[in-house]
Structure 1
C-alpha cells in the first residue's frame, strides 16, 4: 500500500492493474477485470436492470443480434478491449443495453478509488462522462 501511495504522492502513473475491482456511480455498478492484455467490464447492477419484482433481470431486448435478445442484462460483459497506455485506458468498446449500440470508451484512474470514464461515438467531445468510486469489499 505504501508503494501505491508513493505513486500518487509524486504524480507517478498508477499501475495498470489498479483498475481491477468493483466500481459504482449513481446509475451503475460494474466489475472491471483483466482479460488477456486488456481490461473488460461486467454489468452488476443498473437503475433500470430489474423487472417490477426487483429480482428478475431484464433481458437484452435492444441487442441488434436477435439471438442475444433473451439473455439477462445482469452479468453481461459490456466493456471490452480497454488498453492501458500512458496512464490511461483507451480503445475500448462499450455495449449499451439501453439502446443496443456500441460506443467507444476510454478512462483514467484519478486516484486509487476514483475512476472517470467517457463513452462516445466518433469523437470524445460528443460523449458522456461517468465518475465512479471503488466499492470496498
Structure 2
C-alpha cells in the first residue's frame, strides 16, 4: 500500500468516526437543568432518517416503577422506563449540526414540547432544547454521551 493511499484511508476513517460522534445516535445521560442531578439514560436511534429517544434506564432507584400519570396521550399511565420520550426528529436541512421537527416529552409533568437537538464538544454532549412556539421560549438541558 502506498503512503498517500494509506494516509487518505486513515483520514477517511477519522472523518467517518468524527461524523458518527456528532450524531445524536447513542446512549446519553440526562441531567436535570435545575438540580444538576443525573436522571436517566436515553438511547437515540434512527430509522429512515427519523430519530427517536427512549429511556433505557432510570438512575433513581425509587423511580424504577414510575408511570407517566400526567401524560395526556397514549403514554398515559405507562411505565417511564422504556418510554419513547423523543420522536419524529430529523436532521435539519438548512443546518446539518441540528436535529429538529419532532417533540420531546417531559415525563415529570406529562407535557410535550417541540425539540431541537445539537451535538456539541465533538459529540460528547448533546444540547436538548424543549420549547413552545419559537425556540427562544424554552429551556435547554445538556446530556452527556455514555456510548
Q: How does 1:114-125 map to 2 (within 5 A)?
A: 114-125=125-136
Matched, 1:39 2:46: no
TM-score by length of 2: 0.71
Deviation at 1:4, TM superposition (A): 6.6
CA pair 4-120 structure 1, distance change in 2 beyond 3 A = farther
Give the match for residue 146 of structure 2.
135
CA RMSD of aligned residues (A): 2.9
Q: Distance in 1 between matches of 2:54 and 2:78?
A: 14
Alpha carbons 1:120, 1:128 under 8 Å: kept = yes
Deviation at 1:106, TM superposition (A): 0.5
SS in 2 for 1:19: coil
Deviation at 1:42, TM superposition (A): 0.3
CA pair 106-24 structure 1, distance change in 2 beyond 3 A = same
1:67-105 C-alpha deviation (Å, 9 max, x unpaired): 643321101001001110222101111122122211000
Give the match for residue 106 of structure 1.
116
SS in 1 for 2:65: coil
For the pair shown, which has the larger CA radius of gyration, 1 or 2?
Answer: 2
Matched, 1:82 2:89: yes
1:92-122 C-alpha deviation (Å, 9 max, x unpaired): 1112212221100001111222211100111
Give 5+ residue unaligned stretches, structure 2: 1-9, 32-38
Matched positions, count = 127
Q: Distance in 2 between matches of 1:122 and 1:113?
A: 28
CA pair 118-3 structure 1, distance change in 2 beyond 3 A = farther
Alpha carbons 1:59, 1:73 under 8 Å: kept = yes
Give 5+ residue unaligned stretches, structure 1: none
Give the match for residue 19 of structure 1.
24
TM-score by length of 1: 0.76
Alpha carbons 1:16, 1:84 under 8 Å: kept = no
